[in-house]
Each structure stands twice: as structure tokens, then as C-alpha cells.
Amino acid sequence: MIIGAGLAGCEAAWAAAQRDISVKLYEMRPLKMTAAHRTDGLAELVCSNSLGSALPDKAPGLLRAEMQMLDSLLMKIADECRVPAGSALAVDRSLFSIKVNEAIESHPRIELIRKEITEIPRDQVVIVASGPLTSDALAADLSKLIGEEHLYFFDALAPIIEGDSIDQKIAFAGSRYNRGVTEKGDYLNCPFTREEYEAFVSALLTAETIPLKPFEEAIRSGVKAGKGLFFEGCLPIEILAARGMDALAFGPLRPIGLIDPRTGRRPWAVLQLRLEDNFASAYNMVGFQTNLRYPEQDRVFRLIPGLAEASFLRYGQMHRNSYINAPAQLNQFLQLKSHPNVFIAGQLSGIEGYMGNIASGLMSGMNAASYLKREPYLQLPEETMITSLIRSITSADPESFQPIKANMGILPALKEPVKQKTDRAHKLSQRSLIALKTFLLKNSAKMDPAEQ
């Protein structure tokens, strides 16, 4: 049984059915719509029609190449529906959805049922792929299954910046009062003079924001959102800034305990950038959850000293997003540790972005098929982006877990470090594809999908 015929659910259904499993795929639309979907089509792309870069040296492109090798349905259809968009894989979204519908509905082992599922059967093998806008009744049942404290309803995401794009002639390493600094330097600090700070705050206050949907207004006002979760500490940076010119300098940009080694003095204000991975390839802008439009984030956040050339791996966001505490709840096969018959895929598993969600659907479908057939799971090589992404969500710190998007920094480091970023990305990508190809050759008998 698969709940949700979105990106992850359709890919999962196909992967399982191709492995000889009979699938019942449940989709609640159009009987019950979500706040973001507009059609009754399967695998509807709710926002952008771009699946990210198609280049294998970029994270979405590497996921694409890996999924192509694993016979992904959605990758095949995406290629058939591709529209010109430079190096990005953009698709005609209507055609994409139509073709997914056709493939799913014509598969002899998939039955598509239009119905809202309100309870997760405890005695069946189930893939829950109901997405960021999981219906309330199902979310309530999932809470019962895993514990209310492990299901989140909103996202307040701060942007993530590529490490190499930060100007380290301006940003300095060090943590407040030099507490707990590791060799890698846990934080980079962007120091503001008073003039720079005031110019930044003024730009922030006049920047354009994304209009919030009614359910998202809850975040803005900081009221209780969903069950058991408060967002007092997660207000958007622009809302905090509106409280007065000094609000940020006394809040997330407070300079206390930080001395700029180049001046020997405490800056007027400081943005702290926190390491996101072990390779210093990505940094989180501490306290910078925001509702600014993406181009505005480019414009305004680049006014911060040290970030003039910043390249954003993820923009800040505030939106309704149901996801579980994956490191606490999921094993590496995307099964609930407490209920191994239940697999979680897609955004609900804490993966961000279309491509990552499709990849998790593919893996959950393959794994559920192995589970049902009592066969060992196929463990893809560690070097692949798919494995790295799942490793990232399942081995993160459960205390501070936030959804993760595929990026090159989550791949295991190269044995021989490569300084140049593009060369490094190329080597990482080649290593992953060769490892996967070798793996597939060795395991061809196990991989062979059943004849239709």
C-alpha cells in the first residue's frame, strides 16, 4: 500500500511493481485537495517546473544520472517532457503529470485508488509518501504511531551558503567567547560596521516577501502551529528587523563574545555562519529564517560583509511542511525503526527538493519489495548521492533536525583532497557513477525488474 501519488509515491509504486509486487496506490485528490496542488494529476509539480541542474557535477544532476541507472520512471518521463532551460532539467508540467498518470494507470500491477487514507494500517507493508501537505487526519495517525513530538508541521529554514563562495578575507573563524571551537572552526563570522549594518537593515525592511497562505500566517504571528510546536524563536529575520533599527544587533546579529582578529575589536554586529557538514562546503546563516523572495535573498543577503559573492545552496523559507524526525525514527532503508512494515518516503522523510524526493520514493519502493520478498536489501554504494542523502537524514542530530537537500558536500570526502571546487565536484560525481555502475554490474541478477 502506498499513500500519496505525488513525486515519491509514483516512483515508489513503479519501483515496487517492476519488482513483481502488486501495489495499491492511494491519492486523495481531487476528493480532497491540498493547499498547494491545483490539479488531480499524479506527480504534480507544485511550484517550479525545474528539477534543478541536469549536469552530473551538480547534486540534482548526479541524482538524475544515478536514478537513470536505476530505471527511474520519473526520470525517463522528465526527459520526454523536457523544455529548454539552459543546463537545468525543466519540464512541461502538464505533460509530465499526464505521462506519469498513463504509466501508473496502465501498469498491470498498480491499482490507483482515489481516496484519503486517515489511518496507517498496522498490519500491512505501507509506504507513506503523503508529502509536505499530508492531510490532517493522516498526520494525526502518524503522530500516534511515532509520538507527537516527532512530527513537525512547519519549516522555518535559514539559507545555506556554499563554503567556497564566502570571502574569508572578511569573514573570520571562531565561536562566541572561543567556546567549543574545533579545528575546522565551527563558525565563520561576518563582521558589520555600524554603517554596513544600518544599510543592511534598511534593505531588509524594504525587500519583497512571498505572500503567505492563510495556514502559514500562524508562523508569522508566532502562534501555536499544529500540535505541540511553538515558533516564538523562529520568527522571520525581516519581522524581527521591523521591531527597531537595533533589534537584530541585540538579537541574531549580536556581536557579544566575538573579536575580529583583524581589528582586535568587537564589531557592531555579526552574522554567524555555522558549519553544515564536515568538509566546510556549506554554512547555515544562523537565525536567518526568512520569507523574502529568492531573488531578494540574493540581493539583500549579499550586502552582508563577506557574502558579496555568496552562492546559495538553499534559500530561506517559511512554509507548511510536515516532516518527521528522521534521525530518531528512520533506519537507512527508510523504515520506521519502531514499525518496520512502515516506510516513509518523500518530503515527509525530511528530504527537500523534487529530485531528492523522487530518489527516496525509488529507494522505498525497492526496499519495500525486498522486505515483502524477504530478500536482503540492495545497499547502494556509500559514494552515491542517493545513499549520501539518506545517510544525511538518518544520521543527523535528532535534537536539531531540519530537512536536507541534496548537495555535493554530503558525499564522502575524496581520499586525495581537491582544492578547485569544479574539479572536486567532477571527481565526486565520477566516483559516484563508477561505483554505482560497478555495483549494478555485480548485482545485475538482483536488480533485474520482473518482466511486465
Ligand X SMILES: Cc1cc2nc3c(=O)[nH]c(=O)nc-3n(C[C@H](O)[C@H](O)[C@H](O)COP(=O)(O)OP(=O)(O)OC[C@H]3O[C@@H](n4cnc5c(N)ncnc54)[C@H](O)[C@@H]3O)c2cc1C
Q: In what order do the strands lie in the sheet with 282-285?
A: 172-173, 187-192, 269-275, 282-285, 160-162, 312-314
Q: Which one of residues 346, 350, 381, 409 is an interface residue with ligand X (CB under 6 A)?
A: 346
Which residue number, 127 or 190, has a Cβ lying nearer to ligand X? 127
Q: Which one of residues 347, 384, 392, 402 is an interface residue with ligand X (CB under 6 A)?
A: 347
134 scored as a contact of ligand X (CB under 6 A): yes
Find cell 544600518 and name the residue.
198
Q: State the minimum distance, in angstroms, from the CB of residue 333 to ligand X.
A: 17
135 scored as a contact of ligand X (CB under 6 A): yes
Segment interacting with ligand X (CB under 6 A) among 6-14, 162-170, 331-339, 393-401 = 6-14
Q: Which one of residues 5, 17, 157, 366 is an interface residue with ligand X (CB under 6 A)?
A: 5
2 scored as a contact of ligand X (CB under 6 A): no
61-100 footprint of ligand X as x/- string (CB under 6 A): ----------------------------------------
286-325 footprint of ligand X as x/- string (CB under 6 A): ---------------------------------x------
The Cα–Cα gap between 196 and 217 comes to: 31
34 scored as a contact of ligand X (CB under 6 A): yes
Cell numbers for 108: 498491470
Q: Which one of residues 131, 163, 174, 305 is an interface residue with ligand X (CB under 6 A)?
A: 131
Segment interacting with ligand X (CB under 6 A) among 74-82, 133-141, 285-293, 388-396 = 133-141
What is the number of the residue whose Cβ is closest to ligand X? 6
Q: Which one of residues 152, 315, 323, 354 is an interface residue with ligand X (CB under 6 A)?
A: 354
CA atoms 379, 382, 386, 392: torsion sign? positive
407 scored as a contact of ligand X (CB under 6 A): no
6 scored as a contact of ligand X (CB under 6 A): yes
387 scored as a contact of ligand X (CB under 6 A): no
Segment interacting with ligand X (CB under 6 A) among 13-21, 125-133, 218-226, 439-447 = 125-133
Number of residues that bind ligand X (CB under 6 A): 34
39-58 footprint of ligand X as x/- string (CB under 6 A): -------xxx----------
Q: Which one of residues 117, 258, 270, 326 is an interface residue with ligand X (CB under 6 A)?
A: 117
Segment interacting with ligand X (CB under 6 A) among 34-42, 172-180, 181-189, 417-425 = 34-42
User: What residue ranges bind ligand X (CB under 6 A)?
Assistant: 3-9, 26-29, 34, 36-37, 46-48, 116-117, 129-135, 138, 319, 346-348, 353-354, 357
